[in-house]
Amino acid sequence: MEKSVHSPEYALLRAELRRAREAGGLSQRQLAERLDVPHSWVAKVETGERRIDLVEFCWFVAACGEDSLAAIGRLVPRMHLGRAPRRAKGGRSK
């Protein structure tokens, strides 16, 4: 399984985050203020420099004024998760 911010699935996640922010009419700085984080945190998340977990995803989307469950519902079907998992480079198979 590839755990990379460069995977196609993670690119979809980042696009969903940016879509939510823009749909909420927020700049990265405005969203950062709502989340009480430095504005660079939002920029790093959106560019893939920083990885986020599910809880942070939900906080991000909610701060944009959207339902996090609806965001996940839009995102997951586009990820094609039914295929066999990929191994990270140098990873071991189980």
pLDDT (tens digit per residue) in 25-66:
999 999 999 999 999 999 999 999 999 999 999 999 999 999
Query: pLDDT > 70: what percent of the chain?
Result: 82
CATH number for 8-79 (one of 3.40.605.10, 3.30.470.10, 1.10.260.40, 1.20.1250.20): it is 1.10.260.40
Burial 44-79 (b: 16+ CB within 10 A, else e): bbbeeeeebeeebbbbbbebbebebeebbeebeeee
Query: End-to-end alpha-carbon separation of the chain, Å?
Result: 11
Question: The tokens 């998340």 sit on which residue?
Answer: 45
pLDDT of residue 8: 87
pLDDT of residue 94: 41
More confident residue, 63 or 10: 63
**Is it the case that residue 3 has pLDDT exceeding 70?**
no
pTM to 2 decimals?
0.79
